Amino acid sequence: MWYDIACMDECNGTPSQVSLCRLTIGKGDEKMPNIKSAKKRVKVIETKTLQNKIFKTQLKTDIKKYEAALEAGDAELAKVTYKAAVKKIDQAAACGIIHKNAAARKKSQFTKKLNAIG
């Protein structure tokens, strides 16, 4: 996968001498497949990777909201955000985004914290 980025000119490094460089993300010598089904798999994998990143970001946001509610000491808000966070964790474990044991551990930690505040 290629990305165009702005690079400093190597000879003097001044900001006025900015050019576009190509940056390869991933392994150094990536080759595009020739077979049609393999090309499709590359596209599907990129799409799924992006969906997983979006889902993980939403998961982290829900977890942060729950932890913020705990920090504030608001038991009602903590219960609401706890339900949302646990639901998102269960969905992540079902989709294979996080391991099922990691999901169980997180839910257990969240439950202990909720019981301690309430």
pLDDT digits (tens, 9 = 90+) for 8-23: 444 444 444 444 555 4
Q: Of 84, 73, 62, give the one whose Cα is nearest residue 113.
A: 73
User: What average pLDDT does range 107-112 have in this prediction?
Assistant: 97
Is residue 24 over pLDDT 60? no
Domains assigned to the chain? 1-30 (no CATH), 34-117 (1.20.58.110)
Sign (positive or negative) of CA dihedral 29, 35, 38, 39: positive
Quick one: pLDDT at residue 32?
Answer: 85
Is residue 64 over pLDDT 90? yes
Q: Could you tell me where the beta strands, DSSP code E, fall in the chain?
A: 2-8, 18-24
Q: How far apart are the first and last CA of the chain?
A: 49
If one counts every other C-beta atom within 10 angstroms of the C-beta of residue 84, the result is 14
Amino acid letter at 82? Answer: Y
Output 77 or 31, whichever has higher pLDDT: 77
User: What average pLDDT does range 35-49 have in this prediction?
Assistant: 95
